């Protein structure tokens, strides 16, 4: 009898659970209300997202994700992500958020939702310290250029600007950096906020050309269906700028590399 009394509501719940949210303990599908948020971050980009020896992560994106998760009342659980995994892992709900030098682009916007942007970077070019033949983006013609999988940076040069560089594939920017140092590439082009971290870590090996030929609006990626979650992230990002946290984080992660950043909240693009 006692057992039946206990089971009855459970059975009713099971029957209705498809129709009635809140009847079971099921995890919410959007990010709001989740206690733990799985966040995809980079792991080999110093200053942005880098894995420490103990398996924890650090960098600007990591701190932004910590702030946003706390504002949503959740704890972040960081997982490594590469550029080419971002859309798929959001779509398959393997991650709740992606905070990984993730530029908002029209193509990506068709697949995922973007909160933000929370920072605007500019694409630049990095060469070996002693290189003298690349001063701007048009000098990349005929040069061996890294093609990091799933990234937009090489596309900006060869597809959008039509500059005929010789693309050399790599899985990550960390791999591009190793190839550049080893002489297997002539140049590496991506966002200044990423390149500055590599140059700072290896000041005798690399230098930035200071070409700055794009605006890269970094967004926080989340599931296409989660408009409410996207708006909640935007509220958290607004607060991050208003309470002085953004200015502190920008200074902490980018000032040592000599990058100038403003403390103004970027114009949001809107959730869709």
Q: Which is nearer to ligand GLU, 170 or 232 (CB)?
A: 170
CB of 118 to ligand GLU, least distance (A): 13
CB of 138 to ligand GLU, least distance (A): 20
Q: Of 167, 139, 187, 148, nearest to 42 (Cα)?
A: 148
Q: Which is nearer to ligand GLU, 32 or 51 (CB)?
A: 51
| Segment 40 to 99, residues that bind ligand GLU, using CB under 6 A | 83
| Segment 102 to 131, residues that bind ligand GLU, using CB under 6 A | 102-103
Using a 10 angstrom Cβ sphere, with 0-12 exposed, 13-18 middle and 19 or more buried, the burial of residue 105 is: middle
Is residue 191 part of the contact set for ligand GLU (CB under 6 A)?
yes
Q: Are strands 123-128 and 113-121 parallel, antiparallel or unpaired?
A: unpaired
- Measured distance CA(10)–CA(187) in Å, rounded: 62
Q: Which is nearer to ligand GLU, 148 or 165 (CB)?
A: 148
Q: Which is nearer to ligand GLU, 101 or 261 (CB)?
A: 101
- Measured distance CA(83)–CA(86) in Å, rounded: 6
- Which positions from 128 to 157 touch ligand GLU by CB under 6 A, shown as an x/- string? --------------------x--xxx----
Is residue 189 part of the contact set for ligand GLU (CB under 6 A)?
no
Q: Which is nearer to ligand GLU, 153 or 234 (CB)?
A: 153
Phi/psi for 94 (5° steps) reads: -75, -25
Q: Of 271, 242, 225, nearest to 115 (Cα)?
A: 271
- Measured distance CA(9)–CA(147) in Å, rounded: 57
Q: Which is nearer to ligand GLU, 72 or 266 (CB)?
A: 266
CB of 14 to ligand GLU, least distance (A): 43
- Which positions from 206 to 235 touch ligand GLU by CB under 6 A, shown as an x/- string? ----------x-------------------
Q: Indicate the Cα dihedral angle 18, 31, 230, 148, nearest 10°.
A: -110
Interface with ligand GLU (CB under 6 A), residue total 12
CB of 43 to ligand GLU, least distance (A): 11
CB of 10 to ligand GLU, least distance (A): 46
Is residue 101 part of the contact set for ligand GLU (CB under 6 A)?
yes
- Measured distance CA(100)–CA(88) in Å, rounded: 14
Radius of gyration of the chain (CA): 21
What DSSP designation does 160 have?
A: I
- Widest Cα–Cα separation across the chain: 86
- Measured distance CA(267)–CA(217) in Å, rounded: 10
Residues that bind ligand GLU (CB under 6 A): 83, 100-103, 148, 151-153, 190-191, 216
């Amino acid at each position: 009898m006692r057992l039946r009394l206990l089971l009855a509501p459970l059975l009713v719940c099971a029957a209705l659970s498809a129709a009635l949210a809140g009847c079971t303990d099921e995890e919410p599908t959007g990010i709001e209300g989740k206690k733990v948020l799985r966040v995809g971050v980079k792991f080999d980009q110093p200053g942005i997202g880098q894995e420490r020896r103990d398996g924890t992560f650090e960098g600007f994106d990591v701190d932004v994700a910590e702030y946003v998760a706390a504002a949503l009342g959740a704890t972040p659980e960081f997982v490594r992500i590469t550029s080419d995994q971002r859309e798929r892992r959001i779509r398959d709900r393997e991650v709740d958020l992606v905070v990984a030098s993730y530029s908002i682009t029209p193509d990506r916007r068709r697949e995922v939702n973007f909160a933000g942007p929370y920072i605007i970077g500019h694409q630049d070019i990095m060469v070996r310290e002693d290189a003298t033949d690349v001063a701007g983006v048009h000098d990349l013609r005929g040069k061996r250029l890294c093609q990091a999988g799933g990234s937009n940076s090489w596309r900006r040069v060869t597809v959008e600007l039509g500059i005929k560089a010789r693309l050399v594939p790599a899985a990550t920017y960390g791999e591009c950096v190793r190839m550049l140092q080893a002489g297997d590439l002539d140049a590496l082009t991506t966002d200044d906020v990423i390149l500055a971290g590599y140059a700072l870590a290896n000041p005798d090996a690399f230098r930035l050309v200071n070409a700055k030929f794009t605006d890269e609006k970094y967004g926080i990626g989340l599931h296409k269906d989660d408009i409410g979650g996207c708006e909640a992230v935007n509220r958290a990002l607004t607060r991050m700028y208003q309470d002085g946290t953004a200015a502190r984080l920008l200074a902490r992660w980018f000032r040592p590399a000599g990058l100038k950043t403003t403390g103004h909240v970027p114009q949001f693009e809107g959730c869709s």
